[in-house]
Amino acid sequence: MSRIKHISIVIILAFLGLIMLLDLNKIPNQFEYANSIYHHITNNAVGETGSLNFVTAILYDYRAYDSMGESTIIFGAVSGIVLLLSRKTLPVSSHGLSFIVKRTYGMLTPFIFLFSVYIIAHGHLSPGGGFQGGVILGAISIIFSIVYGSEFDYKRYTPTTKTLLETSGALLFIGIGLIGIIYSGSFLSNLNILNSEPGSLLSAGSIPFINLGIGFKIGAGLAIIFYSMIQKTFKEEASL
């Protein structure tokens, strides 16, 4: 019975894939359309936004509202996971890894932090940005609880600190949007006051600051998710 089921699933998927392929073949090249927004962005992005990175220009300027929604999805996921997994017990720490790993990681941590800040701050100049840098920021906290034991992580960065970082990142994003209303009458419009020539660090108006907000939001959010998930493991360990 299950074999028939599997075979029929494969056949259906192959059939759907074939239809997809046929459709994709018939698609005209959209870049040939005169009114495609592709042309506008490739021709005018640097001049209009001051960002050398087109992807960042689209993410945080042309469609910054979408990015706000996307980072809010992660915020919502964090809230949901905390709601479902939060328990009042303090985590009982494991002792972490060996002395060598602890020392080595202790020396590396500042550089990892610097790297994440670099990726966040240079989002408008090179590949990267708030989402990517934020993940590295979150990874620091995760590696802390693996290498030094979660008690260390708990004492250094309490859940309150993480929540503060996360919400302040989110509020920074909305705050920049609201400043846009005051400055030029539209939510999330680019603040041209902060512009210098394209290519320098403080160019591209409000894009670096939105990156910063998203970076903190994502980093702290991922750390919270990891933290809520390991709590149960530690509770079990304590009962042993």
Partner 1 sequence: MNNILIYLVIVPLATAFLIPFVDIFSNKARKILVGFSALLEFSIGIYIIISNYGEITEHTFFLKYYLGNWIPPIGITLSMDMLSLFFSTLISVSLLFIITYSIGFIGHHEGKYYVLLFLIWAAMHGIVLTGDIFNLDVFLELMLITSAPLVAFKRNRNGTEAAIKYMFFGAIGGLFIFIGVILVYFNLGTLNFADIAQSFSLLPLFSKKMIIIFFLIGIFIKLGIFPFHFWLSKAHSACPSSISALLSGVIVKVYIYVFIRLFFNVFGFDILRETGLDIIIIVIALTSSILGHVLALSENDIKRMLAYSTVANLGIIVAVLTLNTKLAILAGLLHVMAHLLMKVSLFTATGYLLQFTPSHKLQDLKGVAYKNIILFAGFTLTAAGMIGLPPMIGFASKWHILQAFLDRSFHWGSIIVILGTIIAFFYYIKYIIYGFKTISIGPPERFRLILSVFYRERVVTNIAILFAIAVVVVGVFFKLSYGPIEGAANAVMNPSIYIESILGG
Interface with partner 1 by CB under 8 A: which residues?
19, 22-23, 26-28, 30-31, 33, 35-38, 40-41, 61-66, 68-70, 72-73, 75-77, 79-84, 86, 160, 163-164, 166-168, 170-171, 174, 177-178, 180-181, 184-190
We find the least distance from the C-beta atom of residue 14 to partner 1, in angstroms, to be 17
Min CB(106)–partner 1 separation in Å: 29
Q: How far is the CB of 170 from partner 1 (least distance, A)?
A: 4
C-beta of 22 vs 100, nearer to partner 1? 22
In angstroms, give the least distance from the CB of 221 to partner 1. 11
Distance between CA 230 and CA 177 in Å, rounded? Answer: 35
Complex with partner 1: residue 114 or 164, whichever CB lies closer: 164
Per-position b or e across 45-58, b if 16+ CB within 10 A of its CB? bbeebbbbbeebbb
CA distance 208 to 221: 20
- CB-wise, 112 or 135, nearer to partner 1? 135
Distance CA 156, CA 15 (A): 55
Nearer to partner 1, 119 or 188 (CB): 188
* Contact criterion met (CB below 8 Å) for 123 and 133: yes
Strand partners, 198: 200
* Cβ closest to partner 1, residue 84 vs residue 240: 84
Environment class of 159 (CB within 10 Å of its CB; exposed 0-12, middle 13-18, buried 19+): middle
Given a contact cutoff of 8 angstroms between Cβ atoms, the answer to whether 51 and 61 are in contact is yes
CB of 147 to partner 1, least distance (A): 28
